[in-house]
A and B are shown apart, each in its own frame.
Chain A
Amino acid sequence: MKPTVLIADDEEAPRAQLLAALRRVWPEADLVAECVNGVDAWDAFLEHDPAVCFLDIRMPGLSGIEVAQRIDARAQVVFVTAHGDHALAAFDAGAVDYVMKPVDDSRLAQAVARVRQRAAAPEAPAAAGLQDMLAELAAQVRRPPPLAVIQAGIGKEVRLIRTEDVVYFEADARYTRVVYRSDGSDGEALIRTPLKELLAQLDAQHFWQVHRSVIVSQRHIASAVRVDEGSMHITLRGRSERLPVSRHFQSLFKGQ
């Protein structure tokens, strides 16, 4: 089976350069996604489940660090960065794989060799403290405060929905469906912001992504039900619908 690869860089030329270099040094790799920002990269990861992700660090939406945090140990991550990045010192200390821009073939070949070596020994333990280091680096990223109000156009009216009233968001074709409960009554609205972009603007403590197309307010979750090996759904407080939990997110509900 060909190893699947995702690459992400918000600038076109360095992305194309990395891709060209990758084709030269690792011709058998199968490029499954080429992403132009952090939210695309995370969404594409959920969709394609690549084995290796090459992530630029400074990207809009989610930084490469934040994407790697979400990926956790489910894929091998190689950071792509330029001189002067504050994360470099931490990478060197934590034995994280990275290549420098402009990418040169020999350095990229070394990184690829390490990735393949690790893939051949699947039981190799993940680098200790990697998540802690990523969390520390992610905390240094300047973030705007989380979204407080969502503006939804309903006919001729623009309705302001407080994010704290939202029960869940669901991707719906080209829109995002917002299901909310305010002042005791239920409501629904469609907004144009794609779910993957919304994700980066929400408070991650409060809103949990449980599926590529579902983000749910953690306060409204009543239970998680395992249906069979590999499939799970959640039920909501005071509502009848069931929302799917995809494989990537089942570890959120492990019981105690």
Chain B
Amino acid sequence: MSQERIDWSQFWYPGPARIFTPEELSRAGGQQPSRTMVAIVTLNVAIVAMMVMQAAPPQATAQLTAILAVTSVAGLQFGRRLWRQPTRRALNIYFGVLALACGIVVGFLADHDGDRAVRRWLIYTCASGALLVSLSLWFLAVFRSAQIAARLRELDDQDRAVDMAQQLAAAQIQPHFLFNSLASLQHWVQQKDDRAAPMLEALTAFLRATLPLFNRHRLRLGDEAEAVHQYFEVMRLRLGDRLRYRIEITPAAAAVQVPPGLLLTLVENAIEHGVQASLGGGEVQLQADVVAGQLGVEVRDPGPGPAPNALPGVGLANSRTRLQQAFGPHATITLSAAPGGGGLARIDCPLPTRSAP
């Protein structure tokens, strides 16, 4: 059993140990304490001040008012700053300031003559006031630090969930594709058709090649092209002479690390809208190269291209988001009607000068 160790540094240098960067602080938000909290704290300070004034001997009223006013204003100001940036350093500086001020007042009063009882009363009040303010500041710094940390953790979890969902969506094998392929396979197996064996092989290879899409953030474009190749093969067996395909990927393009699922989404789209939807069918071409530090991927199909006012589908919007997460806002995916006829999907993205790890 590991026992939690006492952090002895907290005794001589108290306060939250974690230092947040400005980015973390702005991400967590809540830079200002809520108005409710400010009101409650102010009310409490006022009540304590009133109680002290009530208990004070009448001769001390003037000094006491000055001390209370300065302590309250300083305490609230320190609290506000600690709220914005709850660091150990700031907290200890405030402790020092309070102790120093307390020392000066006590020293000043010790030299002063007058009623001893009143003087002692003032010194005690001053010391316990400083202690109360210090304790409050300490509590505030620890609370606020924990609050920011919790908020950041929550945001991280949210980001991870979104990220995961996007990855899954990217890797999701279309049930329509799977069941249609199985329908062909089942029939060919029953009929002892020669196409059954290559179909089973291609389908298995496709499923195997799509597995890395589930658990990787980045994938070599060449690896994804292998999944696409198997997808083409399954579709060619199903559609017969309605589908021809060609894949041309330069070694430089194959080595680029891309978010998984992009090629597959574009090719699925090209086959569904460009080949399966057309009476004659035709050829789908996948080309990828790197020219002047820019990755260019093209998928051409024999279809009519996008309808002029068609809204982009979920798959495309998702791909665009993931591409821009990976390569920045200059990475684009465009769908258009190719100049010589047919549909054209194009990815353009500037590659980072230093290749990503």
Instruction: From B187, B195, B272, B307, name the one whose CB has the most chain A CB atoms within 10 angstroms.
Output: B187
Q: How far is the CA of A39 from the CA of B308 in the complex (A)?
A: 24
> Inside 8 A of B240's CB, which chain A residues have their CB?
12
Minimum Cβ distance to chain A for residue B56 (Å): 77
Q: Looking across the interface, which residue of chain B has its beta carbon closest to that of A200?
A: B279
Chain B residue at minimal CB-CB distance from A143: B307
Interface set, chain B 301-318, CB cutoff 8 A to A: 303-305, 307-308, 310
Q: Are B276 and A144 in contact (CB under 8 A)?
A: no
Determine if B238 and A11 form an interchain contact, defined as CB atoms under 8 angstroms apart.
yes
B183 touches A14 (CB 8 A): yes
Which residues of chain A are near B330, meaning CB under 8 Å?
Answer: none
Confirm or deny: A100 has a beta carbon within 8 angstroms of a beta carbon on chain B.
Answer: yes
Residues of A within 8 A of B179 (CB): 82-84, 100-102
- Is the pair A142, B273 in contact by a Cβ cutoff of 8 Å? yes
- Residues of chain A contacted by B304 (CB below 8 angstroms): 144
CB within 8 Å of B: which A53-86 residues:
58, 60-61, 82-85
Is the pair B238, A82 in contact by a Cβ cutoff of 8 Å?
Answer: no
Interface assignment of B278: CB less than 8 Å from any CB of chain A: yes
Assembled-state Cα–Cα distance A160/B279 (Å): 23
Choose one: B178, B182, B279, B310; the contact of A39 (CB below 8 Å). B279
Q: In the bound complex, how far is the Cα of B305 from the Cα of A197, in angstroms?
A: 19
Residues of A within 8 A of B177 (CB): 84
Residue of A nearest to B186 (CB): A102
- Report yes or no: B176 in contact with A84, Cβ–Cβ below 8 A: yes
Q: A145: CB under 8 A from chain B?
A: yes
Which among B177, B193, B277 has the greatest number of chain A C-beta atoms within 10 A?
B277
Whether the pair A14, B187 counts as a contact (CB closer than 8 A) is: yes
Cβ of B327 within 8 Å of any chain A Cβ, yes or no, is no
B184 adjacent to chain A (CB < 8 Å): yes
Q: Chain A nearest CB: distance from B198 CB in Å?
A: 13
Partner of B186, one of A11, A17, A39, A142: A17
Would A85 and B176 count as touching, CB distance under 8 A?
A: yes
Question: For the complex, would chain A's binding face be called helix, strand, loop or mixed by DSSP majority?
Answer: loop
Asked whether A60 lies within 8 Å of B184 as measured between CB atoms, the reply is no
- B187, B188, B195, B277: the one within 8 Å of A60 (CB): B277
Q: How close is B336's CB to chain A, nearest CB, in angstroms?
A: 14
What string of 1s and 0s marks CB contacts (under 8 Å) between A186-203 and chain B? Answer: 000000000001000000
* B175 CB–A CB distance under 8 Å: yes
Residues in chain B near residue A11, CB distance under 8 A? 180, 183-184, 238-239
Which residues of A in the span 5-60 have a Cβ within 8 Å of any Cβ on B?
Answer: 10-14, 16-17, 20, 37, 39, 58, 60
Interchain CB contact (< 8 A) of A82 among B180, B276, B308: B180
Q: How far is the CB of A56 from chain B (nearest CB, A)?
A: 10
- For B303, what are the chain A residues with a Cβ–Cβ distance below 8 Å? 144
In the assembly, what is the distance between CA of A150 and CA of B104, in Å? 99
Cα-based distance from A83 to B173 in the complex (angstroms): 12
- Interface contact B183-A13, CB-CB below 8 Å: yes
Give Cα A197–Cα B278 distance, bound, in whole angstroms. 11
Bound complex: CA A14 to CA B191 (Å): 12
Once the chains bind, are B307 and A142 in contact (CB under 8 Å)?
Answer: yes
Within the complex, what minimum Cβ distance (angstroms) separates A198 from chain B?
11
B interface residues, Cβ below 8 angstroms from A:
174-180, 182-188, 190-191, 193, 195, 238-240, 272-273, 276-279, 303-305, 307-308, 310
What 12 additional pairs, Cβ within 8 angstroms, besides A12-B240, A60-B276, A82-B175?
A: A11-B183, A13-B183, A13-B195, A16-B191, A20-B190, A58-B176, A58-B272, A82-B180, A82-B183, A84-B179, A101-B183, A102-B179
The 7 closest A-B pairs by CB, nearest first: A84-B175, A144-B304, A13-B184, A17-B187, A84-B176, A102-B183, A82-B179
